[in-house]
Amino acid sequence: MTALWWCLMSATITGGSGGSEFPGSFTPILARTRTIYRPVGPVAYDCVKVIVVRDGSAVLYSEFGQRPVKCGDVVLLAANTLCASEPEDHVTVTTLYADSDYVVDQVFWQYVSAMHDRLDAQEFAATIYTEPAQIIGLGMDRSGVLMPWLDELVTLSLENRPIENFFRTQSLWFSVAHVIAPFITTSAIRTSSTQRATGYPSLPRHRKFAPLRQEARRLAQLLRADPMRTWSVTEMAREVHLSKSQVGRVFVEAFGKSPIAYLTMLRTERMAGLLCTTDTPIAGIAQEVGWRDPDFAARQFRRSVGVTPSKYRALSRSATSEVPG
């Protein structure tokens, strides 16, 4: 998704390496507090990042331009959003990292009366959360309310017991989000009630929160810009100046799936949208999204979404027909 949902870690507001700071089992929410003294160049991550400034100040550089942040501010960064930081003497922050699939799932349940399925939730989130980088001036009083919750989230993250601490971690995450959410910039959009349909969530991407390599980010941009192209691994590698073996490894480390699997995801999302919004025959939609063989397209769609394209279209139209007029 393209909107306000995705991450950061290490020894600066925006940079650092993964490594031993994030050991152990995957968890959809992770928290760290640190003090930063040195500037760090632009880096992007593949998760939602919520940064609460606790002490000191810094200058950030991102899609919002050059902006100062100080104690009481909260920085929100979407996935794949470049951001650089330059502390003014020092800055202490607590950073929350949230897996994007986890966040989209929460959007689905928050707006379940207006959602058809989780693909709807992904598109809905991309529509209303239009700013990939935001700075929220909560102020000292409101941000002070967050501090005990943030401290406990950090403690639970360091314990590295994601199963035992799951519900408490989720509770604390919800408490923080409840305070911040009213101040997030969203686009004006009207939602309508639709019948609740069965959701088909994708598998979580069990990987560490880590910075995206430039080659992986560039290839993802190319695939999104031209998903209809008949991509080969050789072409992908050539576009980003890596070997065939390197391009797969680098991309999997960044996005948790191979470039071909990522391309399949993009085509499936596009196909789902066309099934809901057009009367184009399924074979024609398959061609339009980049699959020449409609049977292969149907198999890929069912593997990703859980139902056949024809069933998905029927479910979508059934839900739409029951929207109150």
pLDDT in tens, 58-98: 988 787 778 899 999 999 888 767 677 889 999 999 999 98
Tell me what pLDDT residue 195 has.
28
Tell me what pLDDT residue 156 has.
96
Distances (CA, A) of 242 to 95, 119, 251: 32, 32, 11
The CATH architecture annotation of domain 214-321 reads Orthogonal Bundle (1.10)
Backbone angles phi, psi at 35, to 5 degrees: -110, 135
Tell me what pLDDT residue 190 has.
40
pLDDT at 324 over 60: no
Residue limits of CATH 2.60.120.280 in the chain:
19-183
**Amino acid letter at 59?**
V
Residue limits of CATH 1.10.10.60 in the chain:
214-321
7, burial (CB in 10 Å: exposed 0-12, middle 13-18, buried 19+): buried
Average pLDDT over residues 186-211: 45
Provide the 8-state DSSP code for 291: -
- Say if CB 200 and CB 64 are below 8 A apart: no
Q: For residues 5 and 127, give the distance between their C-alpha atoms in angstroms, rounded to a whole number.
A: 12
What value does the CA radius of gyration of the chain take, rounded to a whole number of Å? 21
The answer regarding whether domain 19-183 maps to CATH 1.10.730.10 reads no
Per-residue pLDDT tens for 228-240? 999 999 999 999 9
Distances (CA, A) of 191 to 104, 128, 264: 17, 10, 29
Enter the tokens of residue 319: 């839900």
Enter the tokens of residue 305: 């979404």
- pTM of the predicted model as reported, rounded to 2 decimal places: 0.61
Mean pLDDT of all residues in the chain? 78
Per-residue pLDDT tens for 100-146? 888 888 887 877 777 666 666 666 666 656 677 889 999 999 999 99
pLDDT > 90 fraction of the chain, expressed in percent and rounded: 40
More confident residue, 38 or 254: 38
